[in-house]
Structure 1
Amino acid sequence: MTLQKTSHNFTKIAFIPLQTNLFHIVLISFLLTFGASNIYSQDIVKKMIPLAIPLQKKGIETDEKAQITVSDSIRVEKDSVKTDSIKPKKAFLDGKVKYKADQYAKIDQKNKLITLYDNAELYYQDIELKSGKIIMDYQKNEVYAGRIKDSTGKYTQYPNFKQGENVIEPDSIRFNFKTKKALIWNSRTDQGEFNVKAAITKKENDSVYFLKGARFTTSTNKENPEYYFQTSKVKFIPGKKVITGLTNLVIADVPTPIALPFAFFPMSKETSVSGLILPSYNDSNNRGFSLQNGGYYFALSDHYDLTVLADYYTNGSYGMRFESSYATRYKFRGNVNVRFENLINSERGYPDYSKQNIYNIQWSHSRDTKANPNSSFSASVNLGSSKYFQQSINQSNIGSSLNNTLSSSVSYSKTFNIIPQARLSLSATHSQNTQTESINMTLPTLQFSLDRMYPFVGKDGVKKGFFKNINLQYNLNGRNNITTTDSLFFKPEMFRDAQIGFQHSIPLSTNFKLFKYFSASTSVNYEEIWYAKTIRKEYDIDQSAVIDRTVNGFDAFRTYNFSASVGTTIYGTFNFGENKKIQAIRHVMRPSVSYAYTPSFEKYYDTYASDASGTMDNQYTRFEGGIFGVPGLSNSNTMGISLSNTFEAKVTDKDSTKTEPKKVMLLNNLNLSTSYNLDADGVTALAWSPVRVSTGAQFFQNKLNANFAATLDPYAIDNSGRRINKYNIENGGSLFRMTSTNFTLNYAISSTDKDDKKNKAKDDQTTRNGGREDDLFGTATDLNDNRQSLFDGSEEEGEDVVSEFFNAKLPWDMTFAYALTYSNNNRESRITGNSIMISANTDLTPKWKVGISTGYDFVQKGVTYTQMRFERDLSSWRMSLNWMPFGPNANWNFFIGIKSGILSDIKWEKRNFNNR
């Protein structure tokens, strides 16, 4: 009802003093009292009655979700005269609640209940709740959710409770909107790599859960996992950690003796977390028992990390490894590995006792082109002890020991956008022979160049003809070359013998058309060489020998040469008819003739006495041993001849819908090259050089690569094997004498047309060690992380590889390599190299993989490097065996453990190195 505002006028009442009727006196008093209480009244606000919420009709689905807006039951307006002292009631929820259901949504205002049935959904703030049945008590600020039964009596529509990133799938749940507490029965949730199921879960707040009767596993089968950890009490903090009480490992629902009084699992949302790396136990024949690959991982920041690992043997041997990776998006990325080992063989006092230190340093760095398009920096470093990969006690890939060379390169380049454009580069290189232990380094190499300049080009910019195509460049090459050995590496003697030189060159060239069908080019090159030190040869009477004395100081020589070439392209097509399988063969020939002339620079040559009498003089140049060579003593007047050929066929396509024939490459190349010395005298120099022949072809859809190369000498040799000025055919032989031949075959096939094998990354540890990218020398075994698997990437995700009759798709692949080398320089006519290598991988079953890498050397008559690989996929677990049965590096390695990274320390592994 609505109250009307009373008047502010007072009621006038006349008293009759002589009447004293009691009834009238009481009545008048009551009226006066009632009137006084309403004289100064304020406005009374209309009372707000909540409107009834429209209910969804049964069996009718709506696109819009029903909403309930919670407001105060009484709204108070302020008067200009006085403010009411009564405080308004606070809303029972802090936001809007949205809900819907397929069957019905019933509101009981008397009991303050909202009941949702069949595919019920409820949304409040960051909470999403889906279930078969939901009951919301908005007086107690609680919600209840549970399953419902279908027509067969089976429970369906289990609750799905999501708050933020946490998702729980229980049998039933009770949740309080105000306190954020919840009670959950038979909850199922994913936390990182863990699948957690608990009989009862108590949600204390947004960050703490208590679980009773819980089990957690990394198995993808949540209801029937092949293994799990059973515990009675768990404290769970999402995104941070899991703390458990007594924990027991259960495999195939059978409890094992493996138990822990408590367990702690970090659950950080960060990509990496610092922590201990547990070592593995091993034993060696001559070094005793050992703990390997133990240490600590430091997650220093989002951009770089550090891993420190150590090995220790009971005879005193030990090893240390420092591994760090770093990356900044759109700028650079790289890694650094430093490895050191102190190796002790046998025991002190025994005759076979020895001690040595070996080390290896690797650095890989690449810069993103987006960082600065005008400059670049890259590094690929692999240096250290020459025998490191042969003697290391902890190697990820023994196949790396078969490599004979370690190489490194660090380079920086910058482009200057001027006219003409200039380029500057600085690089340091390193090459190390692990057999001879010799090391060649350049620290550094400086290169500077100016782009081509066309001084005779007109304003139109057209470069056509001999004159307008004349161009010149400027190139500078500076080098500090060091040659040393392992024992002198980075010692003062290493830098004392360094050679420093600068090479300046100015090439002047042009090209033009000749007789319409020929392409001709000519060039003149001027060079100036600077050296920081030279030599002086003289006969030393005291030593009775010729010695070289080093002369420190600047010296230089200048040379020039001339060259020209002319070539053309000839096409020939042999047609066989369009109704033939081979319709045509196309032959392309590119003959070329070149000429080069370099005059004699005798002025840079001196003489020295070769004996004590001083009567025998020999010529020499003080620039001998220079890194950019020496000036020529005699004229060089040569003509080069080369011919390249390609053969291509047009064949009828097997696909009848194709109207055009298919092009097939028969020979990628067939090259012949030789040269003729126009100044040859037939005694000190022969006119013709050997003919070099090379060819290559691809077969079977480019899967088989065949390459052949041979050297053919037209001259005969004498009894001592020296070439003489007499053609081989005149000496009773053939037109050419084959002096060397090399033939290689490479074949890679698989069970499918697609290449299912993983492409190894360029920074793979095997490649950085100098090994092969393929697995002909075996696959790498990361001893720090044995969870890497042969199954990785072999199947498409979600693909079922087993058919009804167990006709499983058994993928396989094979890599085949064959090499043959023939030598006949001195009529020895023998095969110096003849070997075959094979690598094969296959699946015996969808869960079993086997592989082998082996080969045979027909010259040495022995089996080459051999590795056998076996692996069993145990769903959440992995079991593998790598066995190398032959050679000095014979060993085997067995591993079984959980695949998950968070449980990587739950494993058992055993290694045996026969000779280490």
Structure 2
Amino acid sequence: MHSFAQEDPITPLPIKAIQDSIVAPLLPANILNDSIPLDSVQSDTVPKKEAALLDQIKYKAKDYVKLSQSENKIYLYDEAEIYYQDTELKAGIIVLDYIANEVYAGRIKDSTGTYSQFPYFKQGGNEVRPDSIRFNFDTQKALIWNSRTEQQAGLGQLGSDAMKVYAEITKKENDSVYFLSEGKLTTSKDTVNPDYYIRIRKAKFVPKKKIIAGFSNMYIADVPTPIALPFAYFPLTTGRTAGLIFPTFGNDPQRGYFIQNGGYYFPFNDYVDLSLTGDYYTNGSFGFRGQSIYTKRYKFRGNINFSFENLIQSQRGFDDFSRSSNYNIRIQHSQDPKASPNSRFSASVNLGSSQFFTNSLNQINRNDVQTNTFASSISYSKTFPAYPSVNTSITLSHTQNSRTEQIVMSLPTFQASMERIFPFAKRDGIKKGLIQNVNFQYDVNAQNTITTDEQNFSFDDARIGARHRIPLATNFKVAKYLSVTLNGNYEDVWTLETINRRFDEDLQETVTDTIAGFDRFNRYNFGASVGTTVYGTFNFGEDKKIQAIRHVMRPSISYNYAPSFEQFFDTFVDGNGEEVQFTPFETSLYGRPSLNRSNSMSFSLQNTLEAKVRDKDSTATEPRKVSILSNLTFTTSYNFEADSLRLSPINMNGATEIIKNVPINFAATFDPFAIDNNGRRINTLNINNGGGLFRLTSARINTGFSLNSDMFKKGGAKKSEEDSDQEQDPGYGDNPFALNDRARTGETFFQREEDDQGNVENPTYSNKLPWDARFTYVATYNNNNRQRELTNHSLMFSGNIKLTPKWEVGFNSGYDIRNKGFTDTRFIFNRDLDSFRISFDWTPFGQFERWYFFIGIKSSILSDLKWENRSQPFRR
């Protein structure tokens, strides 16, 4: 309904018009040049007042629109609306004063005394939901009672968070400044009865930018807390903004009071940022960390992390005083494939002190305390696509064992390989027969390798070498079913360092001299293999539960020959007058030439076994395939050059999933020869020595499986599409106990979160208790010397139990059956308190015994409102 106010039409009087007889004289032609002086005031100096309303006001109401000319007001009732430029006002009742250009909006009360149709005021991008409002179109000022507004701010993992701003009285000064009196700030979803809020007495509010308040303190369930500030600043900007990172406070019995993880955040631009944080202890210990994340769409992305800790134990002058410095550097860089299809640069760096994570006092390093190996790799690769294509790469690599503190670096490794070439066949033609399938490749590998340790780090023991390799091969069919492969391999090894051995008469010992300079040796070998595939099917009948079993065997025989390379060996006479052979290439990175001739034959038999089973579903038209053995392989070899023990032990490897979702891997070694009383193999078959055909020398089995509550529901693990989508990414990542904090979307400003049963605020489980568990079992058996020993026998397990929709318990542990003890055991308790989050991380015993408690606001805007407490790591 639209209405517009106007005056009543004028009714003409019935008077006849008579022409006047007086004729006015005409003005003279020279009136413009008359000598009569003009008035000195030619124009009014007071500027005319412009129209206050610059646009048409549109209004409507559901019940009625009343115009009062005596009051110069328009009354709109029930679902009233007014639109003026970028201003929108909706309410139960609206009163418009079209002379003062002011509007008043308020609620209406129904027959039960309940207020409804609260005002909704929107100007530009700012929205306010008050109880009542008074607004002036001329000055753009407003007076608002009991206003509620929502501001998007921060940038969390799930996007920007919402800050709810409530004030009893709000004065709108202009488009960008509001003054609040008796306000509340909260991120709680329930704005009527928030579980917490920050009370502010007076504040200046700039939408989408900031709130500057006087004395402020925190209320929990309407109960004031001692958490207060004489003045406060709340940033409301979205995206990344520079600012302080609030630290954690605590006390260490040995290092004194401390602050941790405090610092500053620098967002340099849209591509790069930097976080600088640090720790400080009153006994002088300190640490600092720097983290930078960078990204450029369709180009690259990565992050750089650097940590340093200077730890002081006890106090200077005491017997237990000690000081240690630890550092860690982590770099991740990946290039977008679209940036350059023929070249790629990537980096994955993790290096530092071996005991960094073990000795670190910061909780953020808790998940890495069992890290045993640091590995790094920085590589650049380029492909030259023209035929024959060549792939090249340069890699810097690093491997560090945190237990032995040994460091192996390759600075750098260069690799190049040429694609396979068929010289006797057309490039795009079909290759048939012995000659057309002849092919060769070429590749080169060059390294500069350094092996050292943390205590005696040095580049003096660097070894440099290169290896050129040309493999040659062909394959063809014989008798239609036999596949024959012939192959040969040539290698040329370069080195910049050789050795020379001699016996020193003065020292009466053998001396090894290192000789710097280029040298080389070559080696080559030949081989042939024959293989085929045999299929066997055993049918039991379509009326049987097991209708058929299919057995596939892939036997193969291969022969390898490599000559002796005696030309690369020298001799010297030792102190006993005996001639001793040695090779100058003993320190080569790519092995040494062999003095012994290699002449052996290898045997392999690979098996797969599967069955056709009648499907339980009566509507199924085809039987169901079940894998009994996905792999069962036997391998052995026979050495023609050996003077004894020519047949090597038989190795068996197998895998099966006969139990659904429970993969089982197993392996064993069988030796046909017996051993003497000292455990040494003798050239006597075990069966001729009173034993069986083979002697079991080692065995291994491992299996792992997962269970969850859905598997035990009616219908098995079938889930709805919604549940499946939610469980595709459980959110565990590197931490198996990280809870899946699913994004809650689609909720409006006044909605509350509801569970599946429709309960609000405090949902409970009636007949379900969601849980999941993961198990890994490993057993290793050793019987090389009749010891019959289980060298490894352990069970690892982890999982999560969701006691209620907001209570979750995670655990990770294992039991060493052989040594009768638990491995590193960890429990994590998480409680969702709507706006707050509580977590308790507890390692009850072991080398890393400790606990950690945290409670804080989930929203990233007020994430600094938290409390943490922890024990100190237990040191043995």
- Name the structure 2 match of 1:660: 622
- Name the structure 2 match of 1:635: 597
Equivalents in 1 of 2:144, 2:31: separation in Å? Answer: 58
1:585 CA drift (Å): 2.6
- Name the structure 2 match of 1:707: 665
Is residue 285–residue 914 contact of structure 1 (8 Å, CA) maintained in 2? no
TM-score (norm 2): 0.87
Relative to structure 1, the CA distance from residue 595 to residue 809 in structure 2 (aligned partners, 3 Å threshold; closer, same or farther) is same
1:102 CA drift (Å): 4.0
Equivalents in 2 of 1:115, 1:156: separation in Å? Answer: 18
1:235 CA drift (Å): 0.6
- Name the structure 2 match of 1:872: 831
1:263 CA drift (Å): 1.0
What does residue range 428-577 of structure 1 map to in structure 2 within 5 Å? 428-458=396-426, 461-489=429-457, 494-577=458-541
SS in 1 for 2:318: coil
Is residue 802–residue 809 contact of structure 1 (8 Å, CA) maintained in 2? no
1:39 CA drift (Å): 13
- Name the structure 2 match of 1:722: 680
Question: Bigger CA drift: 747-756 or 429-438?
Answer: 747-756
Residue by residue, what CA displacement relative to the aligned partner does 1:413-463 show, whole Å, maximum 9, x if unpaired? Answer: 111121111111111111111121111111111011111112222376222
Relative to structure 1, the CA distance from residue 471 to residue 689 in structure 2 (aligned partners, 3 Å threshold; closer, same or farther) is same
1:760 CA drift (Å): 7.8
Is residue 102–residue 119 contact of structure 1 (8 Å, CA) maintained in 2? yes
Equivalents in 2 of 1:403, 1:420: separation in Å? Answer: 43
Unaligned 5+ residue runs, structure 1?
2-26, 42-84, 765-772, 780-788
Give the counterpart of 2:23 among 31, 51, 58: 31
What does residue range 293-692 of structure 1 map to in structure 2 within 5 Å? 293-458=261-426, 461-489=429-457, 494-611=458-575, 615-682=577-644, 686-692=645-651
1:125 CA drift (Å): 3.5
- Name the structure 2 match of 1:179: 139
1:215 CA drift (Å): 0.8
Residue by residue, what CA displacement relative to the aligned partner does 1:555-604 show, whole Å, maximum 9, x if unpaired? Answer: 11112211222222222233333333333332222222222211111111
- Name the structure 1 match of 2:105: 145
Residue by residue, what CA displacement relative to the aligned partner does 1:443-500 show, whole Å, maximum 9, x if unpaired? Answer: 11101111111222237622222222222111011111110011233xxxx2221111
- Name the structure 2 match of 1:215: 184
1:792 maps onto 2:741 in alignment? yes
Unaligned 5+ residue runs, structure 2?
1-8, 10-19, 33-44, 153-161, 711-716, 747-752
Give the counterpart of 1:843 among 802, 805, 812: 802
Is residue 276–residue 288 contact of structure 2 (8 Å, CA) maintained in 1? yes
Give the counterpart of 1:156 among 109, 116, 139: 116
Equivalents in 1 of 2:58, 2:620: separation in Å? Answer: 60
Is residue 499–residue 586 contact of structure 2 (8 Å, CA) maintained in 1? yes
1:224 CA drift (Å): 0.8
Relative to structure 1, the CA distance from residue 642 to residue 177 in structure 2 (aligned partners, 3 Å threshold; closer, same or farther) is farther
Relative to structure 1, the CA distance from residue 260 to residue 537 in structure 2 (aligned partners, 3 Å threshold; closer, same or farther) is same
1:274 CA drift (Å): 2.0
Count, aligned residues: 816
Is residue 765–residue 805 contact of structure 2 (8 Å, CA) maintained in 1? no
Equivalents in 2 of 1:423, 1:457: separation in Å? Answer: 23
Relative to structure 1, the CA distance from residue 87 to residue 861 in structure 2 (aligned partners, 3 Å threshold; closer, same or farther) is closer
Question: Bigger CA drift: 203-212 or 148-157?
Answer: 148-157
Equivalents in 1 of 2:505, 2:221: separation in Å? Answer: 90
Relative to structure 1, the CA distance from residue 264 to residue 558 in structure 2 (aligned partners, 3 Å threshold; closer, same or farther) is same
SS in 2 for 1:903: coil
Is residue 430–residue 440 contact of structure 1 (8 Å, CA) maintained in 2? yes
1:897 CA drift (Å): 1.4
Residue by residue, what CA displacement relative to the aligned partner does 1:474-527 show, whole Å, maximum 9, x if unpaired? Answer: 1011111110011233xxxx2221111111111121222222223222222111
Residue by residue, what CA displacement relative to the aligned partner does 1:131-183 show, whole Å, maximum 9, x if unpaired? Answer: 33444445444443333344544322222222333221122223333433222
Equivalents in 2 of 1:104, 1:416: separation in Å? Answer: 80
1:246 CA drift (Å): 1.7
Equivalents in 1 of 2:426, 2:336: separation in Å? Answer: 39
CA-based RMSD of the aligned residues comes to: 3.0
Relative to structure 1, the CA distance from residue 388 to residue 745 in structure 2 (aligned partners, 3 Å threshold; closer, same or farther) is same
Equivalents in 2 of 1:342, 1:87: separation in Å? Answer: 74
1:234 maps onto 2:203 in alignment? yes
Is residue 276–residue 297 contact of structure 1 (8 Å, CA) maintained in 2? yes
Is residue 284–residue 914 contact of structure 1 (8 Å, CA) maintained in 2? no
Question: Bigger CA drift: 472-481 or 139-148?
Answer: 139-148
1:540 CA drift (Å): 2.1
- Name the structure 1 match of 2:166: 197
- Name the structure 2 match of 1:22: none
Relative to structure 1, the CA distance from residue 840 to residue 280 in structure 2 (aligned partners, 3 Å threshold; closer, same or farther) is same
- Name the structure 2 match of 1:17: none
Equivalents in 2 of 1:676, 1:201: separation in Å? Answer: 93
Give the counterpart of 1:814 among 764, 773, 776: 773
- Name the structure 2 match of 1:6: none
Equivalents in 2 of 1:575, 1:127: separation in Å? Answer: 82
Relative to structure 1, the CA distance from residue 292 to residue 88 in structure 2 (aligned partners, 3 Å threshold; closer, same or farther) is closer
Amino acid in the other structure paired with 1:843: K
- Name the structure 2 match of 1:10: none
Amino acid in the other structure paired with 1:647: L
- Name the structure 2 match of 1:831: 790
SS in 1 for 2:552: strand
Equivalents in 2 of 1:283, 1:39: separation in Å? Answer: 104
Residue by residue, what CA displacement relative to the aligned partner does 1:759-791 show, whole Å, maximum 9, x if unpaired? Answer: 5889x6xxxxxxxx463xxx4xxxxxxxxx635
Amino acid in the other structure paired with 2:536: G
Equivalents in 1 of 2:163, 2:28: separation in Å? Answer: 72
Relative to structure 1, the CA distance from residue 90 to residue 477 in structure 2 (aligned partners, 3 Å threshold; closer, same or farther) is same
Equivalents in 1 of 2:476, 2:848: separation in Å? Answer: 61
SS in 2 for 1:467: helix
SS in 2 for 1:689: coil
SS in 1 for 2:776: strand
Equivalents in 1 of 2:322, 2:728: separation in Å? Answer: 42
Equivalents in 2 of 1:140, 1:107: separation in Å? Answer: 15
What does residue range 733-744 of structure 1 map to in structure 2 within 5 Å? 733-744=691-702
1:169 maps onto 2:133 in alignment? no
SS in 2 for 1:852: strand
Is residue 92–residue 138 contact of structure 1 (8 Å, CA) maintained in 2? no
Amino acid in the other structure paired with 1:800: D
TM-score (norm 1): 0.84
Equivalents in 2 of 1:312, 1:459: separation in Å? Answer: 68
Is residue 802–residue 808 contact of structure 1 (8 Å, CA) maintained in 2? no
